[in-house]
Amino acid sequence: MAKAVFFDLDGTLLDTAADIRDALNGALASFGYPAVTYGETLSYVGNGARRLAERAVPEGGDAEGVLAAFAKLYADCRNERTRAYEGMAELLARLKQEGTKLAVITNKLQVSASGLIGKFYPALFDFVGGDDGTFPVKPDPSLTRYAALSMRVPLRDCVFVGDGETDVFTARNAGMVGVSVLWGYRTREQLAASGAQYFAEDVPALEKILKKFL
Instruction: Please report how many Cα atoms fall inside a 13 Å half-sphere around the Cα of residue 210, on the Cβ side.
Output: 26
CB 70 within 8 A of CB 62: no
CB 151 within 8 A of CB 139: no
At what angle are helices 49-56 and 17-30 packed, to 10 degrees? 60
> 204: phi > 0 → left, psi -120 to 50 → alpha, else beta; which?
alpha
CB 180 within 8 A of CB 26: no
Q: Tell which residue, 84, 73, 89, 88, has the closest CA to residue 19.
A: 73
Catalytic site includes residue 8: yes
Helix (H) or strand (E) segment spanning residue 83? strand 83-84
What is the DSSP pairing of strand 14-15 with strand 83-84?
antiparallel
Helix (H) or strand (E) segment spanning residue 110? helix 110-120
Catalytic residue from among 8, 19, 163, 167: 8
C-alpha radius of gyration, the chain, whole number: 17
Catalytic residues: 8
